[in-house]
Structure 1
C-alpha cells in the first residue's frame, strides 16, 4: 500500500465533524459527539466531511477536525471558499484533501494562507492515479522507503498540472475518476496513510492511531464482504450512473457501468448532454439492459430528470449516491447503507 502522504502545497481543507466515538470540532451532522479533543490535539482540516469523519475515526481524541464542505447542499466541485476557510487552513497541523482536481479550491487556500502543513491526498492512494504504483508494490516499499521529499511530492502532483484545460471550473485529471472515497481498497490504504502521518506528528499516540486504523480497515473488510455477495448474485448486471461518483463501488460489486461516457462526463461538468448521447441513454434504459439507475442528489439537470423519468416508466429502480456524508452517519454506516440500497434495487 503506497504511502504517498504529503502532497505539494496545493491541497486540502475541512469543516468540523465529530461522529460516534470520534473527536472533532463542531459540524452539522454529528452522530454522537461524545468525545472532546484533548488539550494537545492536532488540528486537522479536511476538504469534505467524508475525510473529516475518517480522520476523526483514526485520530480519536488526539485530533480536532474541521471539514470545509459538510453539507449536502454544497457541491465540492464548485465550492467557493471564504476568508474563514483561509484562516482555518492557516492554523492546520495537517490537511487532507481528495485531490485529482475534485477539491481544487484547496490549492488557492493553501497558497493564500501560506500554510506549510503536510497534506494527505486521497486520490494518490488509488491504483488509477497517474503514475501510481500498485498497492502491493507500495506496501512492500512502505517500511523501507523514507517519506517523500518536497521535490518528490511536487513530482507526484505533476499529473494535476495536466488537468482539464477547458476552464469549466472542474479541473479533473483527464481519464481519472476522482471520486475515490467510493473505492474500498483506496480507503484502506488511505486509513493506513493517515495513521502513519498522525504518528509522525504525534509519535506518543502512534499506538492509538495504528489500532484505530486497523479497526477501520477491518470494517471496510465488512463492506467488501457485502460487495462480494452482490457480485455472487448479480455479476455483470448493467448499471446506469448519471455521473461517475459511484463507479468504483459498482465495479467492486462486479457490476457493469453501461453509461455512455459522454453522458456522465457532461453532467459532471455541468454541461448539456449532446442530443445523440441522450437518445442513446434513453434507448439503453428502454432495452432492459439497465438494472439500476444511480443519481447524485447534489447535482443534476434536465437530462438527469429525463433519465429518471424514463427509468420510472420502465420500472427500473433509481437510487441516490451522494458526494458528502449525510447527517448522523459515519463513513462505514454510509457505505453500508449505499451497498444495501444497491443490493435491494438489484433484487427488485
Structure 2
C-alpha cells in the first residue's frame, strides 16, 4: 500500500498558541467578522449533539445514525483546534446543544469558552478524562464479559464530576499529558460507551439503535487493536521520530520507541523555535540510521519541521503524515485503519 509522503515544499500552517481571554466573550462573538460553518446543524426538534471536532462528531454518528442531529464545530483539516477563533454562529450552535463532546486536556478550550458564553447546561463528555494517563484516573476498566461496558462505576463517577464542575476547571493544558487521546483506541472505546449511555438517557426510545451502533463501533475498535498488535509483533522496539506528540498513543500501542528529543516536539507543538542544540541533536539522530520512520503533523509545521523532513528524505527514512482532524470521506475507524496501514508500510520499507 502506498504511503503518504510529505514533501518539503508542502505548505504547513505554523502552530499558534491560544491566547487566554481573547478567545470569547459575547461582544467578541457578535462582532466576529468570519463565522464558521459547522457541519450537519439541524433545527427539526431532534436531540442535538455538538462536537468540538469532526473526530468526535463521526463517533456520535457511528453510534446514533440519524436518530440525533450532529454538529461538528471544526470539520476541516485547514483549521487548528489549538488556535480556533469561535464565532457567533458557534455560540448559537452550542446554546442549542443537548449533549456536548469535547476533547479536553487543553486541546479545544474554545468549546469551554462557548459553553460559558452561551450559558449552556448540556451534559459535557470530555474525552481526555477517559484516558488512563489522565491525572488521578484509576478507573475505566471494562467489566469482565461485558462487551459494551454497561457496568462502569468509575466512568459514571467521572462523568458526574464533569457535569457538576461546569466551569471546566482543569481543562487547561496539563504538563506531561498528551491531549491527543483520539489516537488511543482504548480511550475512544470508553468515550463511545459514555456517548451511547448519554444518548440513551436523552432518547430512550432509540436504545436499540444506540446499542447496535455501539456494538459495531466497538468491534471496529477491536479490529484496530488487532492491527496494532500485528505491527508490534513485527516491529517491536523500532525507533520513530515525531515532530509533534500527536500520534504517540497509536505508536506506543504498536510497540514503537519514540526517540524524538522532548524539547523538539514540545517547541513545535507550542509554535516556538526549536533550540539550535536540539535541532542538531535531531539531525544527528536521523543521520545515524536507526530511525525507521518520521511522523509529521499534516496540518502544522515550520522551518524546523521542513528541515527534519529534508534530512529524513536524504537519509532514505520514510515520512508519514498524521492529521488532527478527520479527513474528508473517512470515518474515524477507516481513518485510524489507514494510519496504521501507512505506518506499517513505512516500517516495512
TM-score (ref. length: structure 2): 0.83
Q: Runs of 5+ in structure 1 lacking a partner?
A: 1-13, 18-24, 27-36, 164-171
Map 1:1-348; keep pairs closer than 5 Å. Answer: 25=40, 41-136=46-141, 142=152, 149=160, 153-154=164-165, 158-160=169-171, 163=172, 172-348=173-349
Q: Runs of 5+ in structure 2 lacking a partner?
A: 1-35, 144-148
Greater RCO structure (CA 8 Å; 6+ sep): 2
Point out the more displaced range, 200-209 or 265-274: 200-209
**3-state DSSP class of the match of 1:240?**
strand
Alpha-carbon displacement from aligned partner over 1:132-172 (angstroms, at most 9, x marks no partner): 12322786962598665468742996543xx4xxxxxxxx2
Alpha-carbon displacement from aligned partner over 1:105-126 (angstroms, at most 9, x marks no partner): 1111111111111111010110
Contact 2:224-2:337 within 8 A present in 1 as well: yes
Contact 1:15-1:66 within 8 A present in 2 as well: no
State the alpha-carbon separation in 1 of the partners of residues 91 and 151 from structure 2: 35
**3-state DSSP class of the match of 1:186?**
helix
Aligned residues: 309
Query: Cα offset for 1:203?
Result: 1.2
**3-state DSSP class of the match of 1:67?**
strand
Distance 1:244 1:321, change over 3 A: same
State the alpha-carbon separation in 2 of the partners of residues 329 and 312 from structure 1: 28
Contact 1:97-1:122 within 8 A present in 2 as well: yes
Alignment RMSD: 2.4
State the alpha-carbon separation in 2 of the partners of residues 145 and 88 from structure 1: 27
Contact 2:112-2:168 within 8 A present in 1 as well: no
Distance 1:217 1:140, change over 3 A: closer
